[in-house]
């Protein structure tokens, strides 16, 4: 049996706790075993406030999750005090939010968890607490180590979308975009589609940057100077 998934707490003033509780309630619908890295007392209080019958069971090790998942929601204590007012993110909770991410990644790296699943964070709250990363994606890349290139993939049954730039103000995209970035994103996407989705021959479509893909330079030349050369390289 695979190890459980590690679900981070996310922003405690947001919807992460509700997502975790609802996922456990839906466990008979094919939800794989998981545990939440959070405050067990907070999760129990939230379930009571919502009137949802979700027993909370603190765990010491991820391996305990599989044994109790059918009967209770396993919660690994985040180890940091959390005080929450719903809808009002507080930078004081940033250490707990970050600690949950660190613990989830560590569990995966040690083979104790199968994968990390992240609840939504409030980036502004983390920024105000001194968090130096633009978002989850870049922080996970740092924790992965080895100078890896972070790539985000948005997935639905018919389509997978990979943005070449991540967490970047729109006005900076055109100046930042380069053919090597597109080539790297394309190669990583191709490998992921083969390895993680079992697609033997992925088909990649590269979107234009400007309206109407630049209209042959009439509405911008990034398609001619940056995007088309990257497509040519990827085809080769």
> What pLDDT score was predicted for residue 228?
97
Q: Is residue 69 part of a domain?
A: yes
CA torsion 78-80-85-87 (nearest 10°) is -50
Q: Is the pLDDT confidence value at 186 over 80?
A: yes
Query: pTM of the full predicted structure?
Result: 0.89
Query: What pLDDT band is residue 80 in, cutting at 50, 70 and 90?
Result: confident
Q: Is the pLDDT confidence value at 123 over 80?
A: yes
131 and 217 share one domain = no
Q: What pLDDT digit, counting tens, does each position of 129-174 carry? A: 999 999 999 999 999 887 788 999 999 988 999 999 999 999 999 9
124 and 161 share one domain = no
> What pLDDT score was predicted for residue 212?
95
130 and 170 share one domain = no
Least confident of 53-57, 75-79, 147-151: 147-151
Of the residues 105, 126, 144, the one at which a domain ends: 144
Distance of CA 62 to the CA centre of its chain: 19
**Domain hosting residue 37, numbered range:** 5-144
Q: Is residue 149 part of a domain?
A: no
Of the residues 115, 144, 173, the one at which a domain ends: 144
Per-residue pLDDT, averaged over 63-88, amounts to 92
48 and 124 share one domain = yes
81 and 112 share one domain = yes
Percent of the chain beyond pLDDT 90? 89
Q: Is residue 91 part of a domain?
A: yes
Q: Is residue 170 part of a domain?
A: yes
CATH number at residue 78: 3.40.718.10
Q: What pLDDT digit, counting tens, does each position of 103-114 carry? A: 999 999 999 999
Q: What is the DSSP-derived secondary structure letter of residue 129?
A: T
Q: How many domains does the chain have?
A: 2
> What pLDDT score was predicted for residue 57?
97
175 and 134 share one domain = no
> What pLDDT score was predicted for residue 161?
96
124 and 176 share one domain = no
CA distance linking residue 236 with residue 163, whole number of Å: 22
128 and 168 share one domain = no
> What pLDDT score was predicted for residue 47?
97
Per-residue pLDDT, averaged over 3-20, amounts to 96
98 and 184 share one domain = no
125 and 159 share one domain = no
Q: Is residue 173 part of a domain?
A: yes
Of the residues 119, 144, 169, the one at which a domain ends: 144
111 and 132 share one domain = yes
Q: How high does pLDDT run on average in the chain? A: 94
CA distances for 78 relative to 37, 98, 111, 140, 194, angstroms = 5, 10, 19, 18, 35
H or E element in which residue 75 lies: strand 73-77
């Amino acid at each position: 049996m695979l190890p459980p998934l590690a679900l981070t707490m996310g922003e405690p003033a947001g919807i992460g706790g509700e997502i975790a509780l609802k996922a456990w309630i839906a466990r008979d619908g094919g939800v794989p075993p998981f545990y939440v890295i959070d405050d067990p007392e907070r999760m129990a209080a939230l379930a009571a406030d919502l009137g949802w019958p979700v027993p909370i069971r603190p765990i010491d090790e991820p391996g305990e999750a599989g044994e109790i998942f059918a009967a209770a929601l396993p919660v690994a204590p985040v180890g940091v005090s959390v005080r929450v007012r719903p809808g009002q993110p507080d930078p004081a909770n940033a250490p707990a939010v970050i600690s949950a991410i660190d613990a989830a990644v560590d569990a995966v790296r040690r083979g104790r968890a199968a994968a990390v699943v992240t609840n939504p964070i409030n980036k502004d709250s983390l920024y105000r607490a001194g968090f130096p990363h633009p978002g989850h994606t870049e922080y996970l890349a740092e924790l992965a180590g080895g100078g890896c290139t972070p790539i985000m993939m948005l997935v639905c049954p018919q389509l997978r979308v990979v943005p070449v730039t991540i967490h970047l103000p729109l006005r900076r995209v055109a100046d930042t975009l380069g053919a090597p970035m597109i080539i790297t994103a394309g190669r990583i996407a191709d490998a992921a589609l083969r390895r993680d989705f079992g697609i033997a021959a992925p088909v990649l479509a590269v979107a234009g940057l400007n309206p109407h893909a630049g209209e042959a330079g009439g509405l911008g030349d990034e398609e001619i100077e940056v995007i088309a050369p990257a497509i040519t390289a990827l085809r080769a």
